[in-house]
Amino acid sequence: MTSIESHKKAKALKPGSVRPAKELCSECGLCDTYYIHYVKEACAFITQRIDELETSTHNRPRNLEDENELYFGVHQEMMSARKQQPIEGAQWTGIVSSIAIEMLNRGLVEGVVCVQNTKEDRFQPMPIIARTPEEILAAKVNKPTLSPNLSVLEQIEQSGMKRLLVIGVGCQIQALRAVEKKLGLEKLYVLGTPCVDNVTRAGLQKFLETTSRSPETVVSYEFMQDFRVHFKHEDGSEETVPFFGLKTNVLKDIFAPSCMSCFDYVNSLADIVVGYMGAPYPWQWIVVRNDTGKEMLELIKDQLDTKPVISEGNRKPAVQQGIKAYDDAVTLPMFAAKLLGLVIDRIGPKGLEYARFSIDSHFARNYLYVKRNHGEKLAAHVPEFAKRIVAQYKLPE
């Protein structure tokens, strides 16, 4: 008689029921499967294990004395990049989809965990295991909402797949790394994106309605390196709104509590990370963390233009002012916001310094959030690298 692994006896939670992390749950999907059995050690909001998992994943810890590693995690190299022939309708130029397609076409993996949208709603996430390039392409562009990507984990075991690529954001990847050895795979590849300020579907609606001139026609948006939100509309037009003109007082509460408590902005446990914030607009930013990530990048190198990362400006005064302004929920009149946006764009931080600006601002805000709302978790929940980053600033009580 073969014995069933203990996790297979666990019961997945029903949709809508309270998750073990309660209000801090980011709906990563783990608890929709029998892998809920491991939730105590896997959930990013119950047991924060970034330091330990970084060492087991990348074979060494983050070097906290090196400013780039302190901020961007363990890595071998970083670069600015863009596809020579962008994928139409991708979030940026489609580097993420291209790596996934190439891995499938070359037989490196049998499936790719990614997230499409439902037929009814372009922003409602629908995680799948893609087995064709068409299915990967149908998952292009961000679904800027909490997405239960790990809800497909049981299907992996049932399908008998041995080689898999998972695309996901930090909280999903921490839970994935914690159960990696239980999945029965020969090889797992992880392609991450940075992630911050995520929202529920209802929160997204509120954001679109308060910020865009035409919420119903928005197909994608991004908080760009030029200090503006760029909305793309169905008719191909682009709308920009300066960060400093956002209705902070209205929007303050839309971010999910998980995302107000998250310190894995740069997806520390992925093999390779593809974002934008460390590259000058309109380039993408690639962080290769380990040999597996290098192997993945090599597959599409000939499809890319690349250039070295840059770092310009001084973020610190702007971060310090921003901490207070956010806390006081300041909203500038739109004309002043536009002017300020222009000035900051011209003299403000660029490249890696912009990425540090964004990390500092979000970590300071999130540190205050955890301190004020979950004070008992503060010491264990905030990783050492984030504590060091936040300690550079004077925070309000």
Q: Is residue 193 close enough to count as binding ligand FAD by CB under 6 A?
A: yes
Question: Which of 147, 174, 292, 366 contacts ligand FAD by CB under 6 A?
Answer: 147
Q: Is residue 129 close enough to count as binding ligand SF4 by CB under 6 A?
A: no
Distance CA 164, CA 27 (A): 22
Which window, 166-174, 211-219, 307-315, 320-328, contacts ligand FAD (CB under 6 A)?
166-174
| Nearer of residues 15 and 160 to ligand SF4, judged by Cβ | 15
Amino acid, res. 26: S
| Nearer of residues 192 and 242 to ligand SF4, judged by Cβ | 192
Question: Which of 29, 144, 203, 257 contacts ligand FAD by CB under 6 A?
Answer: 144
Which window, 6-14, 187-195, 234-242, 373-381, contacts ligand FAD (CB under 6 A)?
187-195
Amino acid, res. 97: S
360: alpha, beta or left? (left if phi > 0; alpha if psi -120 to 50): alpha
Query: CB–CB of 278/56 below 8 Å?
Result: no
Query: CB–CB of 341/348 below 8 Å?
Result: no
Q: Is residue 80 close enough to count as binding ligand FAD by CB under 6 A?
A: no
> Residue 154 binds which entry of ligand SF4, ligand FAD, none, with Cβ cut-offs from 5 to 8 Å by kind?
none
What pairing do the DSSP bridges indicate for beta strands 163-168 and 111-117? parallel
Beta-sheet strand order (sheet of 238-242): 218-223, 228-233, 238-242
Residue 302's closest CA among 103, 85, 136, 77? Answer: 85
Question: Which of 78, 79, 161, 175 contacts ligand SF4 by CB under 6 A?
Answer: 175
Neighbour-count burial of 350, counting CB atoms closer than 10 A to its CB (0-12 exposed, 13-18 middle, 19+ buried): buried
Residue 288's closest CA among 313, 265, 271? Answer: 271
Residue list 198-217, contact with ligand FAD (CB under 6 A): 198
Residues that contact ligand FAD, how many (by CB under 6 A): 36
> Residue 27 binds which entry of ligand FAD, ligand SF4, none, with Cβ cut-offs from 5 to 8 Å by kind?
ligand SF4
Supply the minimum distance, in Å, between the C-beta of residue 214 and ligand SF4.
Answer: 26
Supply the minimum distance, in Å, between the C-beta of residue 83 and ligand FAD.
Answer: 8
Residue 381's closest CA among 13, 75, 21? Answer: 21
Rule CB under 6 A: which residues touch ligand SF4? 19-21, 25-28, 30-31, 39, 42-43, 45, 146, 169-171, 175, 195-196, 198, 258-259, 262, 264
